[in-house]
Amino acid sequence: MNYRLIRSAVRLAATAGLVALPLAPAFAVTEIQWWHAQTGGNNDIINRLADEFNASQSDYKVVPSYKGQYPDTMNAGIAAFRAGNAPHIIQVFEVGTATMMSAKGAIKPVYQLMKEANEPFDPKAYLPAITGYYSTAKGEMLSFPFNSSSMVMWINKDALKKANIAEIPKTWPEVFEDAKKLKAAGYATCGFSNAWAPWANIEQFSAWHNVPIGTKANGIDGFDTELKINSPLHIKHLQNLVDLQKDKTYDYSGRASASEGRFSSGECPIFLTSSGFYANVKNNAKFDFTAAPMPYYPDVKGAPQNSIIGGASLWVFGGKTPAEYKGVAKFFTFLSDTNRQARLHQESGYLPITKAAYEKTKADGFYQKNPILEVPLKELTNKEPTENSRGLRFGNMPQMRDIWSEEIEAALDGKKSAKDALDAAVSRGNALLRTFEKTAK
């Protein structure tokens, strides 16, 4: 290669003004890494939110990354923090709250983040039923509510019509009876079911019936809490599921959300899972569907009480630069916009996190045309919350759910009685709580 000729050509081009002198370096865009656990339609919504924020300004770029289901995402984030390469934002499911709260130094509390970044932030603008779950006793928000939900009962209306069931069931005895009719009408593998076994049959079940999951207001008032999930009512409910599992009137669908397709495919005509399942049902169900409040036992005094939130919030990891935190704070302000929150609620089925977004959705007449999306809000506000229904804050909760699931499965498989299974869930769970209590001090 003739390097002398090349150099001459460059000099000639420069002389002719064809080679521009380098300009002052442009300001680099600050990247904000956002790890999440959303799939399907909700993953599309997350990507669109990031794209819209990125297009709205030129200083920051939010980069969303799917990291698996909720437990996988939280574990990946904790491992990344220990390795020194944590994301800026991580989506953590509600039962990871105590674990994140106890990780002092690992997180940047949202109320501090917003104050230091001089971003407008009023905790009172957010729905208290949601923010209370993620706040200190003083009302200081530790994480940013994002995709809050509650549990509802999804109903295949075409299936009910086929089985000559005139009304949507309201109580557990009615669900059991209707599930038998549905099975006889051709739904042979599943009369009714649920995703998230411990969330459905222990956590939401307890709050809806105003019975404690544990002492100390389900752990909210102190980590020295003890479990109470082996009450006569809990045992009765699990025994009913065990009995109905034998002929598939009830059919177990696992510990998490992977089984939700059993409803949208038409296999299970009655299915309890998150209200946030809406986007997937809307996109995939080939039948007329609706959602209804969770069923209850009518002989339980005061039932139904109120539901508790599920879903997840956005936590901010510690150890980032002021410029990065400024970008995160601006993104949270962006997410809190009333119109954006209303649209997010209406498209995903997750709850609006601000009072203004809820009021706008009502004022627009949206719920008159889409009553499904108001069901979880009505459940959450059905009655003033009690110590049994404010929520829960147990340490090591992801592992706790695994223990509860193992014992529920042992009962459904006929390896233990319902009472023995729940007694074991309590004793094993309490041991886990004592371990957490020692590390959290």
Distance CA 138, CA 416 (A): 44
Question: Which token pair is 320?
Answer: 């980032």
Contact 256/69 with Cβ under 8 angstroms?
Answer: yes
pTM: 0.83
Tell me how far apart the alpha carbons of residues 155 and 293 are, in angstroms, rounded to a whole number.
Answer: 10
256-276 CB burial, b ≥16 within 10 A, e <16: bbebbbbbbebbbbbbbbbbb
The torsion defined by the Cα of 133, 382, 338 and 37, in degrees rounded to 10, comes to 50
3-class SS of residue 127: coil
Chunked into runs of 10 residues, the chain (441 residues) has average pLDDT values of: 37 38 60 95 92 97 96 94 96 91 90 96 86 83 92 98 98 98 98 97 98 95 95 98 98 94 98 93 96 98 95 96 97 95 88 91 94 94 91 92 98 98 98 93 68
- What angle, 0 to 180 degrees and rounded to 10, lies between the N-to-C axes of helices 322-336 and 338-348? 70
Burial environment of residue 290 by CB neighbours within 10 A (0 to 12, 13 to 18, 19 or more): middle
Total residues belonging to the chain: 441
The full set of domains in the chain, from first to last, is: 30-149+310-363 (3.40.190.10), 151-306+389-440 (3.40.190.10)
- The CA–CA distances, whole Å, from 208 to 178, 270, 278, 311 equal 21, 18, 21, 17
In terms of DSSP bridges, do strands 144-149 and 310-316 run parallel, antiparallel, or are they unpaired? antiparallel
What is residue 163's predicted lDDT score, i.e. its pLDDT? Answer: 98
Q: Alpha-carbon distance 151 to 424, whole Å?
A: 26
Give residue 14's pLDDT: 37
- Give the contacts of 32 (CB within 8 A, at least 6 positions apart): 60, 61, 62, 63, 88, 89, 324, 327, 328, 331
pLDDT (0 to 100) of residue 201: 98
Q: What is the pLDDT of residue 16?
A: 39
Exposure pattern of 76-107 as b/e (b: 16+ CB <10 Å)? Answer: bbbebbeeeebbbbbbbbbbbbbbbbbeeebb
Cβ atoms of residues 287 and 158 within 8 Å: yes
The pLDDT of residue 129 is 76
